[in-house]
Chain A
Amino acid sequence: MLNVNTSMREQIALIEVSGRIDSMNANQLGETLNREIDSGHRHMVLDLAGVDYMSSAGLREIVSALKKVRGSGDLRLAQPSSRVREVLEMAGLDTIFQIYATQSEAVGSY
């Protein structure tokens, strides 16, 4: 079960996700990210505080979104759990994404 909520903080598109991100539902996250990008949002924060599990299917979606916005904006990550951070680190994405300990730090980083 995956819940995805989107909102705006000033000019920042905030995407808050909770649940499990796997091959069954990762496209749901990808569709949300793409919708935000297609709407013209280029400064985005993905808050992963509620995500207790993310497989490589989830990584595929966030890397794909980052490729689309990097250059004209950014997709920054907030509050990954230790398990999600482990997956990010295995794929070397902790050096590709800017990752913040809190949502307010991530939003305030722009």
Chain B
Amino acid sequence: MLPNESRFQISAAVDQIPQACDFVVQIAQQAGLDDHAVYHCQLAIDEACTNIIEHGYTHQSAHETIEIICRHEPARFSIIIVDSAPEFDPLTRTDPNPAASLEERTTGGWGIFFIKKLMDEVSYEHLNGKNYLTAVKYLPQ
């Protein structure tokens, strides 16, 4: 683990997500993000974990986990969400349309869209059988 890195692991269950949010909030505050940016990080980790649990790990098991890595660098705060669900790049999904009428709307599909809107950078990698979603907030200079 790098000196500027903190790690936390949860079981892949929705009742574990608040713990992941609390962890990210604490580290984001220590990194110097303001309250609004910390809130964005909290929403981003919530949406990412929800997506993995609802769409990635479709067969719930106590052995399935999500790892959250927070990395504090001089100009950026990164949240890396790691899971072992089947390979899936959520960034390839077509964004839902905020201008759609009520009739045109599907009720889901907003989680990844929110992460892209709330964070300054979002990227995806599949490495050694794991999905890595990285969401970055720029730190105030």
State the A residues within 8 Å of B (CB).
20, 22-24, 53, 55-57, 59-60, 63-64, 66-67, 70, 83, 87, 90-92, 96
Chain B residues with Cβ below 8 Å from A20 are 18
Most buried by B among A23, A64, A83: A23
B42 within 8 A of A: yes
What does the 1/0 interface line of B83-111 toward A look like (CB < 8 Å)? 00000000000001111111001011011
- Stretch of B43-51, B57-65, B67-75, B128-136 with 4 or more beta carbons under 8 angstroms from chain A: B43-51
Chain B contact residues, majority secondary structure: helix
State the B residues within 8 Å of A (CB).
14-15, 17-18, 39, 42-43, 46-47, 50, 53-54, 96-102, 105, 107-108, 110-111, 113-114, 117-118
CB within 8 A of A90: which of B17, B105, B117?
Answer: B117
Given A22-B46, A55-B46, list of 6 further CB < 8 A pairs?
A53-B43, A55-B111, A67-B102, A87-B43, A92-B99, A96-B102
A40 CB to nearest chain B CB (Å)? 21
Given A24-B15, A91-B110, answer yes or no on A70-B102 (Cβ-Cβ < 8 Å).
yes
Complexed CA–CA distance, A54 and B18 (Å): 13
